[in-house]
């Protein structure tokens, strides 16, 4: 058991307290709190992107947000001295952003709701393809609050828009309808387009 | 193909697109079917419609109001008394076309995005999904020809999940002085009337109040009825659609003998309200079918209210009709009965107030048997709502 000074304890209690993070409630079981108190607060883990780039990130940050990584650490398959977690579905650019999100939300979870929302909005100010990559990464890593955030953002991009605009925004070049079908649809529901 | 040229459909797996659609309101999804073939098949999928309805049923409810012979409007409940003080958003809706000119529609109930309308005096029932336009007309002239005063019938409308079927129940008495009460049930899936005589409790209760008061909750249809000689409402008759059996639960003792009382739901619980023009009492049965769990949740010193829904966890929103000025408005009361706010409805005329409003959730669900028929029907466009008239009974 490592030395625990008052600062470390404060740091841990701060990190593990029950607090809304990005709209999702992050709850910590008592065993985690105990485990946390026993370990070093700044323990890092290694994540490896599909491009074989290694990212070092605080364990508590990823464990708090990603169910997948949390499970890996919990079931002991991750050896802190040697292992890296390979994330073959996530490229470096996206992984960096995901780590960014998780880190910010862990360290700033005490901020007020407006500031967090503003940060989230800025964070998601990426092009469509970047958004899809983030969505797939968040889905793979099972990061609930990031998923909800992206779903909400895409939903708002869709709501209230007409069909031609949607095809433009989401770059849907081939809609798959036959020319006859498309013409028929346009005739029946002109105001949809 | 370069990455830049790829679109959402190429990059995201359909499971994720599905999950995005789950969060998009039903009215947008109806339009989005035409964006691409992939989107069409995802949205038209029956299981998707079911998950979408379940996702939204508690949170995205609207109030549907029949305005006159041909028009109705729909307002989402969460835009009433918006925090930002924006006026509620009303959407105009055209009612289905009538079988007979000059008949009018009364709104009888709603279930899973479908509304049950009655065309009077033509004696047709219409099940209608205002969003998709799909509808089915059911004639009950084989019953009605022998009768009747205007309010002779009581109705029930519900969904039997075990058989994926919608049931409509008609419940009537021959004439006011006659003890005999009759009940018939129509199944949409089999397109036929079901004989329930074996299951009927004897004697079947009668009712006293003029307004309809049926409720579909927990897979069963509920009605208020009285079973004693003095015609005082004192029981709730429950028809379980899966078991096709009847049972009864009692109303709170304090309400026995009071008039008029009506059934509603409050936050998913069975509730009763008493509206005697000077006050409104709302009693909620906190635990379903547990008679001792009735509590008086609201005691409001104003009358002419039809409670609609709760808001902010403790306030109650109602429709209020001031008879003296023929004014209809939304009102909000807090838990101790104080009037917090009100918002007038932009309706210039309003008929038969008590049978013309209903809370419902928009859905993309099809009628049983609709999916195979969909492509064969000739569609006639009518504003945003297509309409097919399936053969009547």
A23, A127, A151: best to mutate for the B interface, most B CBs within 10 A:
A151
Give yes or no for a contact between B114 and B368, defined as CB atoms under 8 angstroms apart: no
pLDDT tens sequence across A66-76: 999 988 888 87
Measured CA to CA, the distance from residue A164 to residue B224 in angstroms comes to 51
Q: What pLDDT is attached to residue B116?
A: 92
CB contact (8 A) between residue B7 and residue A173 = yes
Q: What is the DSSP string of B54-90?
A: HHHTTTSEEEEEE-SSSEEEEEEGGGTT-TT-PPP--
Contact A171 B25 (CB under 8 A): no
| Neighbouring residues of B50: CB distance < 8 A, sequence distance ≥ 6 | B365
Q: Do A175 and B35 touch (CB under 8 A)?
A: yes
- Beta-bridged to residue B342, according to DSSP, are B331
Distance CA B64, CA B361 (A): 9
Residues of A in contact with B13 (CB under 8 A): 136
Q: Is B168 exposed, middle or buried (0-12, 13-18, 19+ CB in 10 A)?
A: buried
| Distance, first Cα to last Cα, chain A | 65
pLDDT band at residue B387 using 50, 70 and 90 as cut-offs: very low
Mutation site, B6, B11, B44, interface A, largest A CB count within 10 A: B11
Chain B: give the shortest CA distance to residue A180, in Å.
Answer: 13
Phi, psi of B155 (to 5 degrees): -130, 160
- The three-class DSSP label of residue B345 is coil
Q: Can you tell me the distance from the alpha carbon of A106 to that of A24, in angstroms, rounded to the nearest whole number?
A: 12
Work out the number of other CB atoms within 10 angstroms of the CB of residue B360.
21
Closest of B71, B74, B53, B51 to residue B62, by C-alpha = B74
Q: Give yes or no for residue B84 having a pLDDT over 50.
A: yes
How far, rounded to the nearest angstrom, does the alpha carbon of residue B300 sit from its chain's CA centroid? Answer: 25
Q: Nearest by CB to B11, from A129, A163, A188: name it.
A: A129
Residues of B in contact with A173 (CB under 8 A): 5, 7
Q: For residues B123 and B141, what is the distance between their CA atoms, to the nearest angstrom?
A: 6
* CATH assignment, A44-158: 3.30.710.10
Distance from CA of B33 to the nearest CA of A (A): 9
pLDDT at B379 over 60: no
User: Which phi and psi angles does B30 have, rounded to 5°?
Assistant: -60, -40
Q: How far is B278 from chain A (nearest CA, A)?
A: 43
With an 8 Å Cβ cutoff, the interface of chain A facing chain B consists of 128-129, 132-133, 135-136, 139, 151-152, 154-155, 158-160, 162-163, 166-167, 170-177, 185, 188-189, 191-193
Task: Classify residue A16 by burial, with Cβ atoms within 10 Å: 0-12, 13-18, 19+.
Answer: buried
Residues contacting B107, CB < 8 A, separation 6+: B64, B66, B115, B116, B117, B355, B356, B357, B358
ipTM above 0.85, yes or no: no
CA distance B45 to chain A (A): 17
User: B58 touching A, CB under 8 A?
Assistant: no
Tell me how far apart the alpha carbons of residues B141 and B353 are, in angstroms, rounded to a whole number. Answer: 26
More confident residue, B209 or A111: A111
pTM passes above 0.90: no
Q: Give the domain ranges of chain A.
A: 6-38, 44-158
Q: Is B375 on the interface with A (CB under 8 A)?
A: no
What residues of B are in contact with residue A185 (Cβ under 8 Å)? 34
Among the ranges given (A94-103, B31-40, B308-317), the one the predictor scored with the smallest mean pLDDT: B308-317
Torsion over CA: B28, B32, B38, B41 (sign) = positive
Residues A79-100 pLDDT 10s: 766 778 889 899 999 999 999 9
The closest alpha carbon to B111, from B184, B191, B194, B220, belongs to B220
The vertex-B371 CA angle with B366 and B375, nearest 5°, equals 120
- Compute the C-alpha angle B146/B148/B153, nearest 5°: 105
Mutate to test the interface with A, among B1, B16, B39, B385 (most CBs of A within 10 A): B16
Per-residue pLDDT averaged across A137-166, rounded? 93
Examine the pLDDT at A34 and tell me if it is beyond 60: no
Of A40-44, B62-66, B187-191, B347-351, which has the strongest mean pLDDT?
B187-191
Q: Is the pLDDT of residue B350 over 70?
A: no
**Domain boundary assignment for chain B:** 12-57, 95-231+240-246
């Amino acid at each position: 058991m490592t030395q625990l000074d008052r600062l470390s304890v404060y740091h841990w209690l701060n990190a593990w307290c029950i607090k809304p993070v990005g709209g999702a409630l992050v709850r910590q079981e008592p065993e985690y709190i105990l485990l946390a108190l026993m370990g070093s607060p700044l323990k890092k883990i290694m994540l490896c992107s599909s491009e074989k780039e290694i990212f070092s990130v605080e364990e508590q940050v990823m464990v708090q947000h990603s169910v997948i990584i949390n499970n890996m650490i919990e079931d002991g398959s991750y050896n802190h001295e040697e292992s890296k977690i390979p994330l073959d579905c996530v490229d470096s650019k996206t992984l960096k952003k995901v780590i960014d999100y998780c880190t910010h939300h862990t360290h700033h979870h005490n901020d007020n709701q407006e500031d967090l929302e503003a940060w989230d909005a800025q964070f998601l100010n990426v092009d469509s393809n970047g958004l899809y990559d983030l969505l797939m990464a968040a889905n793979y890593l099972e990061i609930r609050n990031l998923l909800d955030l992206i779903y909400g953002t895409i939903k708002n991009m869709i709501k209230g828009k007409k069909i031609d605009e949607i095809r433009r925004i989401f770059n849907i070049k081939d809609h798959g309808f036959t020319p006859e079908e498309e013409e028929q649809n346009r005739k029946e529901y002109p105001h949809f387009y | 193909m370069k990455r830049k040229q790829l679109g959402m459909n190429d990059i995201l797996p359909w499971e994720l697109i599905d999950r995005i659609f789950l969060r998009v309101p039903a009215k947008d999804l109806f339009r989005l079917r035409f964006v691409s073939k992939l989107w069409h098949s995802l949205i038209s999928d029956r299981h998707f419609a079911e998950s979408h309805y379940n996702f939204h049923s508690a949170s995205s409810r609207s109030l549907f109001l029949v305005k006159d012979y041909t028009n109705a409007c729909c307002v989402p409940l969460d835009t009433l008394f918006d925090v930002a003080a924006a006026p509620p958003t009303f959407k105009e809706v055209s009612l289905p076309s009538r079988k007979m000119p000059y008949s009018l529609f009364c709104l009888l109930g709603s279930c899973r995005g479908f509304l049950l309308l009655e065309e009077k005096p033509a004696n047709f029932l219409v099940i209608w999904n205002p969003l998709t336009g799909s509808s089915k007309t059911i004639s009950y002239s084989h019953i009605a020809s022998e009768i009747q005063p205007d309010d002779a019938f009581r109705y029930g409308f519900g969904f039997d999940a075990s058989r994926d079927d919608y049931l409509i129940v008609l419940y009537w008495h021959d004439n006011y002085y006659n003890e005999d009460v009759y009940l018939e049930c129509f199944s949409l899936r089999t397109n036929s009337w079901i004989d329930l005589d074996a299951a009927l409790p004897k004697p079947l209760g009668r009712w006293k109040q003029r307004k309809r008061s049926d409720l579909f909750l927990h897979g069963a249809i509920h009605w208020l009825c009285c079973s004693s000689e003095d015609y005082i409402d004192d029981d709730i008759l429950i028809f379980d659609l899966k078991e096709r059996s009847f049972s009864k639960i009692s109303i709170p003792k304090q309400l026995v003998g009071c008039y008029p009382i009506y059934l509603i739901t409050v936050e998913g619980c069975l509730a009763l309200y008493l509206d005697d023009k000077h006050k409104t009492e709302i009693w909620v049965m906190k635990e379903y079918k547990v008679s001792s769990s009735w509590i008086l949740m609201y005691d409001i010193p104003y009358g002419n209210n039809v409670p609609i829904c709760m808001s902010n966890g403790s306030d109650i929103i109602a429709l209020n009709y001031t008879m003296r000025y023929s004014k209809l408005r939304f009102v909000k009361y807090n838990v101790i009965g104080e009037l917090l706010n009100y918002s007038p409805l932009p309706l210039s005329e309003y008929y038969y107030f008590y049978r013309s409003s209903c809370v419902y959730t928009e859905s993309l669900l099809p009628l049983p048997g609709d999916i195979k028929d969909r492509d064969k029907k000739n569609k006639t466009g009518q504003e945003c709502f297509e309409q097919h008239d399936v053969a009547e009974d």
